[in-house]
Amino acid sequence: MTETEAAPVPTTEPIIEEIPEAEANAPVEEQGEAKRSRAQKKVMKAMAKLNLRKVAGIQRVVMRNSKKGNFRIEGGEVYQVANSDTYIVFGEVETDDFLSRARSEAVNKFKQEQAAPKEQLPKIEDEAEEAENDEDVDTEGLEDKDIELVMQQAGVTKAKAAKALKSNDNDIVNAIMELTM
């Protein structure tokens, strides 16, 4: 983690209070805190020996990482190690992976852009396709499987696929490229 950021309550400075030794050695439930797991109780007991000061007024802690996104802790407890700028934060971690969110938004945008041109085809092309469909398709010298492959890959009619194959000397790849580019 490269940088830590805390969003304090509208006060100018967080309020740091020392935990009295009597309160630090008391069981966690007696401190008025929420119920904790056994592991959390052990950690809190060990931390009491480290001379930590509780930082009051912190509602959210955001840790930024350029590779994995943001880590957020809402409503956690923040403690400062005495005589240093080291903080210990307890709470439920939520990840905010902005890179994967940006990728998924780009994919959705790309899909929408791909769907839009198909809907906006001019009527002239539709009329031309109808005229081609009415004509008998000349498939002499062409294999049916080649025509079907070109039709499937390029998404065109049988007449267009046959015409493209003939103009490209039965080269399937060039016919598909001609129809899709």
Residue predicted with more confidence, 119 or 172: 172
* pLDDT band at residue 29 under the 50/70/90 scheme: very low
pLDDT at 92 over 50: yes
Angle, to 10 degrees, between the axis of helix 158-167 and the axis of helix 144-154? Answer: 110
Domain ranges of the chain: 3-100, 119-180
The DSSP code for 76 is -
Distance CA 165, CA 173 (A): 9
- The segment with the largest mean pLDDT, out of 24-28, 31-35, 70-74, is 70-74
Q: How far is CA 122 from CA 134, 144, 158, in A?
A: 19, 29, 20
* Phi, psi dihedral angles at 136 (to 5 degrees): -75, 135
What mean pLDDT comes out for the span 99-121?
Answer: 71
Enclosing H/E stretch for 87: strand 87-90
Tell which residue, 94, 100, 97, has the closest CA to residue 72: 94
The pLDDT of residue 16 is: 59
Determine if the pTM surpasses 0.85: no
In three-state secondary structure terms, 121 is coil
CATH superfamily of the domain spanning 3-100: Nascent polypeptide-associated complex domain (2.20.70.30)
Q: How far is CA 69 from CA 1, 88, 89, 105, in A?
A: 10, 20, 18, 16
* pLDDT band at residue 79 under the 50/70/90 scheme: confident
Q: What percent of the chain has pLDDT over 90?
A: 1
pLDDT in tens, 116-150: 655 555 555 555 555 555 456 777 888 888 988 98
